[in-house]
């Protein structure tokens, strides 16, 4: 690889990571505002105009807060657990095509790469729960391990139909295969299963059992403070963006938009981000609307509904392709 190629890869990484981090900071603000208005209150208003500088104030506060480590914790694992989550989330960004011909790495196994890294990211939660040497944290880690195993299977199976229709696991090829119609119309069951599994994978309400503030204080993050706690936050919200981007690419045509009138001149990146924002808003809407599931209901949904549905979708898709 030449020096020029290395330089352009570095530029791509710099742009993608910084854009994602800026979005992660402000999606927290956006969430607090959206849920605030859904509950007839204002959300952050104090720092800056309408609270626009609140994410920066929160980041500074977390950076300078005391980093407390339990004396009985397994310190090396306790230190590294939040870092694993952030690295897994940021590494997933490498194969996401933000617009036509733009991605850091154009892998033929893009979907499998993201699924593998989402599994690695779950180790962050499990290791944090175990290394804290706290019963609340340990229960959060155990819940997360069972949840990830259950919903990772459903998510992987839901994307098999997409790969069958596009004949590829490359994310660029999947977007190109939707030039005539988006896969949401031919794979509605797969989309539903994927969406539910994505919410569970990112530990978001109503599937946020590993945190479960009412039962487990803060679950796996109970013993974390300062910037290490902030890293868990970053990993969770970055994971939301990755899952929203994957749903956009696999079911809503990625960067493609209307091809008529003035809309045909809108850049592909704008269409891509609008679709991703719609999914992010859906995350907030669900959190503000639905109560948390019981743990047995969570497991039952995964094994008795989502996995059978995704398997049935594969069979039906295969039959239609043959016939």
Cβ contacts of 18 within 8 Å, gap of 6 or more: none
Task: Please indicate, yes or no, if residue 255 is contained in any of the structural domains.
Answer: yes
Cβ contacts of 77 within 8 Å, gap of 6 or more: 127, 130, 131
Q: How confident is the model at residue 36 (pLDDT cuts 50, 70, 90)?
A: very high
Instruction: Kindly report each contact of residues 293-296 with a partner whose C-beta sits within 8 Å and lies 24 or more positions away, as own/partner.
Output: 293/206, 293/207, 293/209, 295/143, 295/209
- pLDDT, residue 275, reads 94
CA distance 53 to 167: 46
CA distance 249 to 174: 7
Which residues, listed in sequence order, are joined to residue 99 by a DSSP beta bridge? 102
The region of weakest confidence among 52-61, 62-71, 196-205, 211-220 is 211-220
Instruction: Using alpha carbons only, give the angle 84, 85, 87 rounded to the nearest 5 degrees.
Output: 65
What integer best gives the mean pLDDT of the chain? 87
pLDDT tens digits along 114-143? 999 988 888 888 888 888 888 888 888 888
Number of folded domains that form the chain:
1
Task: Please indicate, yes or no, if residue 211 is contained in any of the structural domains.
Answer: yes
Task: Please indicate, yes or no, if residue 283 is contained in any of the structural domains.
Answer: yes
Task: Please indicate, yes or no, if residue 40 is contained in any of the structural domains.
Answer: no
Task: Please indicate, yes or no, if residue 9 is contained in any of the structural domains.
Answer: no
The region of weakest confidence among 7-11, 49-53, 56-60, 253-257 is 7-11
Q: In which domain, by residue range, is 251 found?
A: 68-322
Task: Please indicate, yes or no, if residue 115 is contained in any of the structural domains.
Answer: yes
Q: How confident is the model at residue 1 (pLDDT cuts 50, 70, 90)?
A: low
The region of weakest confidence among 23-27, 57-61, 127-131, 210-214 is 210-214
Task: Please indicate, yes or no, if residue 12 is contained in any of the structural domains.
Answer: no
At 317, which helix (H) or strand (E)?
A: helix 307-322
- pLDDT, residue 144, reads 82
CA distance 204 to 212: 10
The region of weakest confidence among 18-32, 185-199, 267-281 is 18-32
Tell me the two tokens of residue 256: 């493609």
CA terminus-to-terminus distance, the chain:
46
Tell me the two tokens of residue 178: 């939707």
Percent of the chain with pLDDT over 90: 36
Residue 251 clears pLDDT 90, i.e. is over it: yes
Task: Please indicate, yes or no, if residue 243 is contained in any of the structural domains.
Answer: yes
Torsion of CA 185, 186, 192, 195, to 10 degrees: -80
Question: What is the average pLDDT across 14-29?
Answer: 84
Residue 77 φ/ψ region, left for φ over 0, alpha for ψ in the -120 to 50 degree band, beta for the rest: alpha
Cβ contacts of 178 within 8 Å, gap of 6 or more: 166, 253, 254, 256
Percent of the chain with pLDDT over 70: 97
């Amino acid at each position: 690889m030449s020096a020029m190629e290395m330089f352009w890869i570095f530029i791509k990484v710099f742009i993608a990571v910084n854009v994602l981090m800026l979005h992660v900071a402000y999606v927290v603000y956006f969430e607090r505002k959206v849920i605030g208005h859904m509950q007839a209150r204002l959300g952050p208003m104090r720092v800056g105009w309408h609270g626009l500088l609140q994410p920066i104030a929160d980041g500074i506060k977390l950076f300078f807060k005391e980093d407390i480590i339990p004396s009985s914790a397994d310190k090396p694992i306790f230190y590294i657990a939040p870092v694993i989550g952030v690295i897994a989330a940021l590494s997933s960004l490498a194969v996401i095509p933000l617009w036509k011909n733009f991605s850091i790495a154009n892998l033929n196994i893009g979907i499998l790469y993201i699924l593998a890294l989402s599994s690695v990211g779950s180790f962050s939660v499990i290791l944090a729960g175990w290394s804290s040497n706290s019963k609340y944290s340990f229960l959060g880690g155990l819940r997360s391990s069972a949840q990830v195993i259950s919903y990772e299977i459903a998510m992987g199976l839901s994307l098999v139909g997409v790969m069958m229709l596009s004949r590829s696991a490359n994310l660029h090829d999947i977007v190109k295969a939707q030039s005539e119609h988006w896969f949401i119309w031919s794979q509605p069951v797969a989309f539903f299963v994927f969406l539910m599994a994505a919410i569970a994978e990112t530990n978001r309400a109503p599937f946020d059992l590993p945190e479960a503030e009412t039962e487990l204080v803060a679950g796996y993050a109970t013993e974390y403070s300062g910037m290490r706690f902030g890293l868990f936050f970053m990993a969770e919200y970055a994971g939301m963006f990755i899952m929203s981007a994957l749903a956009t690419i696999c079911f809503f045509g990625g960067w493609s938009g209307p091809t008529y009138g003035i809309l045909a001149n809108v850049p592909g990146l704008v269409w891509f981000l609008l679709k991703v924002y719609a999914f992010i808003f859906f995350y907030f809407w669900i959190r503000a609307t639905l109560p948390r599931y019981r743990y047995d209901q969570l497991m039952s949904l995964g094994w008795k509904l989502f996995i059978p549905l995704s398997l049935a979708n594969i069979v039906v898709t295969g039959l239609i392709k043959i016939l």
